[in-house]
Amino acid sequence: MGAKILDGKLIADELRAKVATEALSLSAKLGRRPGLAAVLVGEDPASHAYVKSKQKATNEAGMVSFEHRLPENTSEKDLLALIAKLNADNAVDGILVQLPLPKQIDTARVIEAVDPAKDVDGFHPMNAGKLSTGLPSLVPGTPLGCIIMAKKAHASLAGLDAVVVGRSNIVGKPLAQLLIAESATVTIAHSKTKDLKEACRRADLLCVAIGKPEFVKADWVKPGATVIDVGINRVPGADGKNKLVGDVAYEEVSKVAGWITPVPGGVGRITVACLLVNTLRAAAARGGLAVPNL
Ligand code: NDP
């Protein structure tokens, strides 16, 4: 029997509907709509597309979207000045700086310049530290989305053998922290892991975020396991046009796994919804109100 599909669109739509309801009630309490500022530096087409979809989702959820598009040659000083302005702007609850940034700008410095209370991407070291010490924090959207997906397949993640392949600051590490918080037994694998296939085969819950097209094969997966594929890779399709594939060889793995996320239509869909959840949380917390539990 083939794996059941974790439908990212369906789950994201449910979440976005909840966010819209909460945003309405929060707007009434705050006397203004929660606001998300997106900062985009340069002309990268993929980044422009991501920012556009985030803005559309923000408006559809009943929040205000502020847009700041800066030229490719923007200096770090000018970008930091804009962030300082957004930090001080009461109408702005969340700030997202679309990555990657041009090479003249120090990404770490920019991330640290964002007010942690408005850090809806959850990348600020203060939020990363809070996550790792179990304190409430703004958590990066993609790992949060992975947990939401995994919980659709498992009533509880406690005691599961979870393997996270990839240890980046934006996906692998925070995902591992979230899984620890869910009481899973967590292994983090990466490019130096000795026997990656064997590590993956131990997983009840296998999460892959490496950026390598269709890297994880069927014989790497324990029969019945839940597979969460974070990867987004553009590869040439049979028709000569580019198509999106994940880090998991979907066709073959879906014959072995119990549950699987497709690419496209999987984790990527939830990431944007989680950004909205974070904006709502940031707005509530800044207004001294209870943070909605969605
Ligand atoms: P990074 O490049 O920052 O990190 C990749 C990680 O994968 C590293 O830890 C690296 O190990 C590990 N890795 C690379 N090659 C291998 C290998 N052959 N075997 C084992 N581990 C390997 O990537 P990101 O975490 O930013 O993104 C990962 C993927 O997820 C990408 O495809 C990206 O497009 C996608 N993504 C999707 C999002 C979504 O919304 N769905 C959001 C963010 C990312 P090491 O540390 O040893 O170098």
SS3 annotation, 167-186: CCCCCHHHHHHHHHHCCCEE
Per-residue pLDDT, 292: 77
Local mean pLDDT, 10-residue blocks, the chain (294 residues): 94 96 96 98 91 94 97 98 98 97 98 98 98 95 97 98 97 98 98 98 98 98 98 93 96 98 95 96 95 79
pLDDT at residue 227, rounded to an integer: 98
Q: Which residues pair with residue 234 across a beta bridge?
A: 244
Residue 106 to residue 95: CA distance in whole angstroms? 17
The CA 26 to ligand 1 mean position distance, Å, reads 36
Helix (H) or strand (E) holding 99: none
Which of 64, 68, 100 has its CA nearest to residue 81? 68
Mutate which of 107, 187, 191, 267 for ligand 1 pocket (most atoms within 8 A of beta carbon): 191
Instruction: Identify the CA nearest to 275 among candidates 26, 56, 111.
Output: 56
The catalytic site residues sit at 54, 98, 121
Tally helices (H) and strands (E) across the chain.
10, 11
Would you state the structure tokens that stand for residue 255, as one six-digit string? 């014959």
- Residue 29 C-alpha to ligand 1 middle, in angstroms? 40
- The answer to whether the CB of 144 is under 6 A from ligand 1 is no
pLDDT score at 290: 86
Q: Decide if 214 contacts 247 (C-beta within 8 A).
A: yes
pLDDT value, residue 46: 87
Cα separation values, 293 from 131, 277, 281, Å? 17, 9, 9
Q: Does residue 243's CB lie within 6 angstroms of at least one atom of ligand 1? A: no
165/155 Cα distance (integer angstroms): 23
Q: Going by C-beta distance under 8 Å and a sequence separation of 6 or more, which residues neighbour residue 88?
A: none
pLDDT value of residue 204: 98
Give the separation between CA 82 and CA 84, rounded to whole angstroms.
Answer: 5
- Residue 288 in contact with residue 252, Cβ under 8 Å? no
pLDDT computed for residue 199 by the predictor: 98
Q: Does residue 170 have its Cβ closer than 6 Å to ligand 1? A: yes
Is the CB of 166 inside a 6 Å radius of any atom of ligand 1?
yes
Of all protein residues, the one whose alpha carbon is nearest to atom 22 of ligand 1 is: 191
Task: Say yes or no: CB of residue 230 within 6 Å of ligand 1.
Answer: yes
DSSP tag of 95: E
